[in-house]
Chains A and B, each alone.
Chain A
Amino acid sequence: MSKYTEDDLKKELETQEYEYGFYTDIESDTFPKGLNEDIVRAISKKKNEPKWMTDWRLNAFRLWQEMEEPNWANVNYKKPDFQDIAYYSAPKAIDPNKTLDDVDSELLAMYKKLGISIDEQKKMNNIAMDIVVDSVSVATTFKKTLAEKGILFMPISEAIQEHPELVKKYIGTIVPQTDNFYAALNSAVFTDGSFCYIPKGVKCPMELSTYFRINEGGTGQFERTLLIADEGSYVSYLEGCTAPARDENQLHAAVVELIALDDAEIKYSTVQNWYPGDKEGKGGVFNFVTKRGICHTNSKISWTQVETGSAVTWKYPSCILKGNNSVGEFYSIAVTNNYQQADTGTKMIHLGKNTKSTIISKGISAGKSQNSYRGLVQIGSRAENARNFSQCDSLLMGNKCGAHTFPYIESKNKSAQIEHEATTSKIGEDQLFYCNQRGIDTEKAIALIVNGFSKEVLNKLPMEFAVEAQKLLEISLEGSVG
């Protein structure tokens, strides 16, 4: 064999396709493109929603019309044409009264391709799973097991029907309709998502998980997740996402709201692998997401995210540390390759006394991508003895990509302790040669080095996800040194 150069490797990998880029041909029920009050009403009607919900949506829509798309982020893209998107798409074969056994066999085959056979999920992993394809939640497993503990885990559309008091009480309280352009849009047109309520003192016995997939072309996905952990409860929640490879840009604008009441703990993990576009930067998902949680007294919210997909990511999972002694954590790995752009980070808003936050962000940039960390640590005037530790590390591959760090610190209390550390490093030829000399080829060596770099965050993921996340990191970065 002749010398296998990095150029060869690069060439080989450029032709490698996005592993989840298949499209499943299932009949679906899709609204015409465009957005107006009638569409909002139609979505609400389709979901058989009560009037308060319809009005809430319409109010959001009116607010949204007055708003402008934000452009302060360090990303460049052609703004989506909001009239060229279909706001509702549902796989037709789905009966709202389905049980798992009734799920369309093609859909099931699709989950198999995704590596998540529901049967297996049910039997082998202790994970209760909800799957949202395009706009509709397809199946929720383990519902009965959970119900015995009083845990509610269901599509949000169902929760609006069955537990309107809870939805009404909390929806939009953490991420108000007016929070930002995409949050307002989501509030008007969200089609599904997950709802979860953990009663007082209950430790959820299994990981709860939602799997999101955009299947139809020309559609956007707007899911809304609402998770309430009542006093003294605990829950660990995972979400994963993929989309087919398409030339067009698809829009994903989700809202996630977490409520941790006194002494509660929420662990929220995301593995985001939306289609990133091809190597020329064509296509890919615009991922504009608002995620925020509120911590009451002695409670804790921990966000862990592995972001490898999407053409453009705009996402800042945040914690409002309202209660005394509450704790917020943010662990993030963001990988960008080819022409991907990510502007992601967190906001830690310290309001209560003795509140603590930790931010560990690992950005990995390759190809011609741009990767930004943007974070805000804000200490309110009453937040005595608040503490924050932030660490932002960037790893660069090649010399055509960019890594940026935008840390904002605002402190109104003199007793606050805030630490910020940042490093930037590059995978060196000498590191690769060292690995090669020990018999580890370049591709494997990159995976090893990247996993080492990301270890502190990977360790925070539940086991089942950690393995998948590691594989994803390898896939997204193959052939990226040069």
Chain B
Amino acid sequence: MGFVLRALQRARPAIGGRVSTFRWITSTPDLHKPEGAAAAEPAAPEPEIPPRTPVGGARVQFSNPDDAIEVFVDGYPVKIPKGMTVLQACEVAGVDIPRFCYHSRLSIAGNCRMCLVEVEKSPKPVASCAMPALPGMKIKTNTPVAKKAREGVMEFLLMNHPLDCPICDQGGECDLQDQSMAFGSDRGRFTEMKRSVVDKNLGPLVKTVMTRCIQCTRCVRFASEIAGVQDLGMLGRGSGEEIGTYVEKLMTSELSGNVIDICPVGALTSKPFAFKARNWELKGTESIDVTDAVGSNIRIDSRGPEVMRILPRLNEDINEEWISDKTRFCYDGLKRQRLNDPMIRGPDGRFKSVSWRDALAVVAEVIHQVKPDEIVGVAGKLSDAESMMALKDFVNRMGSNSVLCEGNGPNPQADLRSSYLMNTSIAGLEKADVFLLVGTQPRVEAPMVNARIRKTVKANQAKVAYIGPPTDINYDHQHIGTGAETLVELVEGRHPFSSTLHSAKNPVIIVGAGIFERDDKDAVFSAVETIAKNAKVVRPDWNGLNVLLLNAAQAAALDLGLVSSPNDTIPSAKFLYLMGADDISLEKLPDDAFVVYQGHHGDKSVYRANVILPASAFSEKEGTYENTEGCTQWTVPAVPTVGDARDDWKIVRALSEVAGVRLPYDSLTAIRARIKTVAPNLLQVDERELATMSFELKPPVSQKISSDPFKPAIENFYMTDSITRASKIMAQCSASLLKK
């Protein structure tokens, strides 16, 4: 019968178009068995394969040309440096090898066996992720042996994997799903009961369904190698093997959310995102994070008007492919406590919603009733450069010069860009061999910088010395002091660590931005510069003197010259314009001062405000942010603004017109042209503008170093700004993870 059908099919043109609408289904049962397939495929000569492009734009760097070796992948010769694994060689050759346990940023485990390939003259298929490539190796990735090996491995993996893809949050972005479609068999032979594993409680962020786990141990390796917590581990043997915390314990890491991304199956998924959306319903918007000064690259996944989740985006220079938990899970704060209507506080002390026209008219009327030098503008820690520029121009046009950005402390040193930036750059920290952390706790202030330091400590055995309050640092370090007197000892060379610092090849000093708030900060910075000068931290080829900033707005604010001192201006202010500033102390503000709060969340400062102007959050506007290393990046609107809110700079621009001092720009392009005249580096998006370091240009410091110990700059890692303070997830985190 089959023969007749095939004959008919062949004769299709002769029979005519009518038959062509049928598809003859024929069966070749012998080809379905892998053994049969191997036999059926004749040992024909390999056809000539056109050169393929490397997987994911993989590039090879030959540090030493003599180290290059040549291997053949599917008959195609490829040059790779010595020490690369077979899998990496295949990637360079443009062949994507399926894998579960292998991850390029983690150590090699070689336990999933999915990456089996055939190597000529090898008796068995070899696990390519763990096998170093040898010169002249002939690697075959699509031979029947390799295919059969993959199919077999996949069958074993699926033996104990539950068939719950329809209710699994990983569905649609699951490695196991994709690879079983691509490389698996179309049937299984397993008829027994599946194994089941008790779910573990890893805290409020990571949901576990451990029955789905395929024991790739990526999460275990991530936790111990990158996050630096020894919480996760492998228990048991054989089919009793389980991932878990050894005792009932939460995963207390600020990077724990990344295990969700690296888990190739749905064993570790996001708890706040559980059953909220499917990944194909989401619209991804490539933006950046503003919850700390690192400016991690993120992808905001939104559905309609709400942000559903935040994922990291690859940027080797800033965040590699990780983000902190605060970045990842702050998004529910964007949906709570939002200001959506302009409001005016009535004579009875209650807020009443009004129209924009009325609100702006009231503000414009009041601003003309106070003396010009009583007008103060304060930019918040989440402000973008455009709105800070507009605020500064507006306040200057009203005749005042008091514009500042919260967190920069009294009299910020903004004359030299190098004195407030991370000059080494985040990626540059990897070359360092000695770190001196002065009053900074990178683990809570900038987890991505901390991950870099940890990576360097792991890779180069770099030494870390820490001056500051006792804190939890997740790598080897010496705690050499708590206050500035240790700095004095280092300046004078009396401290034992001085010799380590002096003998270092690439020393790095990181000063925390918490120092900005100290009264003796000029003296502290001068001491640090002396140490840097003595230890040759700043050389033409190496700049190791860094300031680690705390907030997304800080660097741009200093670039734009928002440099007033809050201690001098706020006590005499009669008109205070708060642009999202919630952490500035308003205790000294006179009671009769008129406060305008422009922002997106009803947070601390709203309660003191007389007029509320609703603005858009970072996920809803286009804005320029400069991160702590001086890299300018843009946020992109992912979701529409809420209610009647407007972009920050537009509000200031509209207010300026109502107040009769019209600002000369009414588009983003125009305001960026204005920024270009002040800080042209803010227009060089995704580029670091280097700052030259010059100790001689600085004026001599007459301050005395006080003996007060350094204070922690951040009390609660999970709640630092108005968005994270509004977030329920972050509240849960601080309740369960920070409690000791």
A and B form one complex? no
A residues whose Cβ falls under 8 Å from a Cβ of B: none
